[in-house]
Structure 1
């Protein structure tokens, strides 16, 4: 056989192999694409995130997170105004919304059948996704009121506790009663209560929300405000009676503060319906946990929205999709806490 024929035959063989390889790659790619499409076939076309009232951190955080997930996954999604953590648990459990935000106190009540919205119903279709931040319980009053401490809140003062059924409304009245405060209770959205404080219709607002609280920041722009802190004795007494822990509000949080302020706090977690597709929750968790810079652009409180804080949930079962991301990235979760 001539060298020319040998070379031609070799070239033909090489070309055949390349075509076969290319066909295999194309077929493999097609199969992967088909699999990916199949993985998304059970995903909802849109989703809703339960937040809380406007003027609170939940609304800003939840709406911003919804937009991030929607953009990254090519879905339609957004935040919805709700009554806050307690209602979000009920809405996620029932499947009326896909995702929500909650605090560990209301979560513990919900899984134990002690939710004030559904006494006796154990909400077992609510799964944890990722840690958000600690919710400080903080108090604000107009400087003109002369109130500078909890024990200076006058007997019978009207106190705004946020939306009915919210974490603030559920726990803050009990905390203040434990600390010996006698008051009249007022509910409403944070922006509305901020306006009522300025108009003299309420004496104090007792917030439970991530900091900085938008309504407080807005009040600072419009008038002089006192941020009222807990004493160490009051912190200890509250922590002994309720699922809260001592917390420090950094002075940099508000222009009103000259130094750090003592408070108490409770952890928040994002939640999902346990029956949501595993891959959807995995991808949403992955985006959140691997993009803290983007979460920080949503709200400063997201500084603690990091996987190292996954152990702050010992109440709700983790969604299998969320648990898979943590385990793949070296974060251990007690198997008994995985749905």
Structure 2
């Protein structure tokens, strides 16, 4: 698991000089932090690229210094945002549900319910990549004892993909690491397969297909149905345009990702953060193509986390969201 240098907790963050809300539209910045950090994932993964993008947009629009931090991914982000070590993070529905229920391996038994939903990001497809020279063209082709890279320890991929492979009867040797490192290991012949759970296009895969011939392996209809029945995922097709290797959509499954915020951050701050991201999708897509799904109408894809009050207000006022009181932090 990635070791993250502890940063100043949100509660101890130096705040900007408080201002007053005026009728002419000035925003009340009482309690706003003077900087923020977004917990992402490993370099070479979609989380880092996407998180760096929206951190930059928010920083530019709001005039608050912000940036992205490499972390171990969704599970660690839930822990860091819950404790206030990070203001923001990114997670998927599965790890979020497990963390809220006390099942996060970083702190077993701790109910991480102080990490609030902020806005929908994109769906994470689960996909398998192998070198074309390996001859692996399907899940059934993966040899017994194959070395499979599942991403950073505690990531969505590492949490769910090994279980999925076991469900499909694959015998494997489990490996962990950052996506860029695993891509290099695959290219060097140290891994047989990489099992990716990341928004497409995954930078590590895009880099691989420029450097060598690869196979992006789709699930059969039967394999897809079996996984959907066993895990909190939905059917998904990876578009043929995502990678030059693909000639047709690749059958997969996916899990939704959401941006999260420490629940104690000021409502006005979170409202403006959400507004900066959700009000200009074109700019977000320029930052990362996965943001094509970062649209207000997907607010209802959050089914497990309490909403931050500032985010709930934005989606209610601007997206016609009907969020029940028991799904808003502080009203529960």
- By the TM > 0.5 criterion, same fold? yes
Task: Check whether the contact 1:251–1:257 (CA below 8 A) recurs between aligned residues.
Answer: yes
2:211 matched to which residue of 1? 222
1:87 matched to which residue of 2? 76
> 2:139 and 2:250 mapped to 1: Cα distance?
13
1:267 matched to which residue of 2? 256
1:53 matched to which residue of 2? 42
Aligned pairs for 1:268-283 within 5 A: 268-283=257-272
2:281 matched to which residue of 1? 292
After superposition, the Cα gap between the structure-2 partners of 1:84 and 1:31, relative to the gap in structure 1 and judged at 3 Å, is closer
After superposition, the Cα gap between the structure-2 partners of 1:100 and 1:255, relative to the gap in structure 1 and judged at 3 Å, is same
2:122 matched to which residue of 1? 133
Aligned pairs for 1:164-203 within 5 A: 164-203=153-192
Shift of 1:287: 1.2
1:122 matched to which residue of 2? 111
Shift of 1:129: 0.5
Runs of 4+ deviating beyond 4 Å: 30-38
Give the root-mean-square deviation of aligned CA atoms: 1.5
Structure with more helix by fraction = 1
- Is 1:335 aligned to 2:325, yes or no? yes
1:246 matched to which residue of 2? 235
Per the normalisation by structure 1, the TM-score is 0.89
Q: Please identify the structure whose Cα radius of gyration is greater.
A: 1
Shift of 1:248: 0.3
1:4 matched to which residue of 2? none
| 1:226-280 Cα shifts (integer Å, max 9, x gaps) | 0000011111111111111111001111000111110111000000000000000
Shift of 1:173: 0.3
> 2:25 and 2:249 mapped to 1: Cα distance?
50
Task: Check whether the contact 1:247–1:265 (CA below 8 A) recurs between aligned residues.
Answer: yes
Shift of 1:36: 8.0
Unmatched runs of 5 consecutive residues or more in structure 2: 1-18
Equivalent residue of 2:28, what SS? helix
> 2:24 and 2:112 mapped to 1: Cα distance?
33
2:51 matched to which residue of 1? 62
Equivalent residue of 2:274, what SS? helix
Shift of 1:332: 1.6
